[in-house]
Amino acid sequence: MIHFTKLHGNGNDFILIDEFRKEIIPENKKSAFAVKYCDRRFGIGADGVLYLEVSDKANIGMKIFNADGTEAEMCGNGIRCLVKYALDKGYIKEAARVETLAGVLSITSRVADGTWITVNMGMPEFAREKLPAKGTGEFIQVRMHGYEVSAVNTGVPHAVIFVDSLDDTLLDDALKIRRDHVFPKGTNVNFARVDSKNEITVRTYERGVEGETLSCGTGSVACVAVARRLGKTGDRVRVNTKGGELVITIKDDAAFMEGQVERVFEGTI
């Protein structure tokens, strides 16, 4: 029997497997496990599987496999779910460090019940190696597939597009951008509407899930980073997603993501 915990951050939901004491799912089966059990009709149902591991570099380690079996470098909502679980289990204190494929990230919990988690996401990276018709440089407002697209890496690659209306037809175009050759590893695609200098609304098509998720933490950071670079917002921005609210603060040396996490249920398979 395998014990699991289901958690979500703003509706971005995950199956968590606790491997802090010992390996539960062999490394060569982690991908297949995610494909099988993320299925919402024949499995538990989730956007991805989190594996909580020991780390030589930090207090805990995280691996994440998407619903399609691909391994992601990092996930903003996922890391908050992992931290919530680790706090509840007593593996970490309110301030800790988490090792991911995107590096070691610092986290804090600022609510007594541990449901509001803040993650230091590091500084978003704008530099790109190749640009269509521009050579090298920053990928900011490049015209492609009928949109002005900006690209930024917040642990994973993101494309950001600012629009006036967030209607459902946008998602039809997301796949073209997600698989464009200019992104050799593919990209997540975010459509953002600026509501004010301190508030935006975002819809995200996630690579690996291959569809829209209710929230994307790294995508929210990406949208605020680009909006701030273009002078559309300030340094602290509330991001509205279908699943709830995130607060993104960008300082000189780092971006901080704050949001709530909930444990949904536990079970065995």
By annotation, the residues acting in catalysis are 75, 216
Q: Which residues are bridge partners to 117 per DSSP?
A: 109, 259
How would you label 49-68 residue by residue, b for 16+ Cβ within 10 Å and e otherwise? bbbbbebeebbbbbbbbbbe
Angstrom distance (rounded) from CA 199 to CA 234: 9
- According to DSSP, the β-strands at 262-268 and 244-250 are unpaired
> Scanning the structure block, which residue is given the tokens 């019940």?
113
SS3 track for the chain = CCEEEEEEECCEEEEEEECCCCCCCCHHHHHHHHHHHCCCCCCCCCCEEEEEECCCCCCEEEEEEECCCCEECCCHHHHHHHHHHHHHHCCCCCEEEEEECCEEEEEEECCCCCCEEEEECCCCECEEEEECCCEEEECCCEEECCEEEEEEECCCEEEEEECCCCCCCHHHHHHHHHCCCCCCCCCEEEEEEEEECCEEEEEEEECCCCEEECCCHHHHHHHHHHHHHCCCCCCEEEEEECCEEEEEEECCCCEEEEEECEEEEEEEC
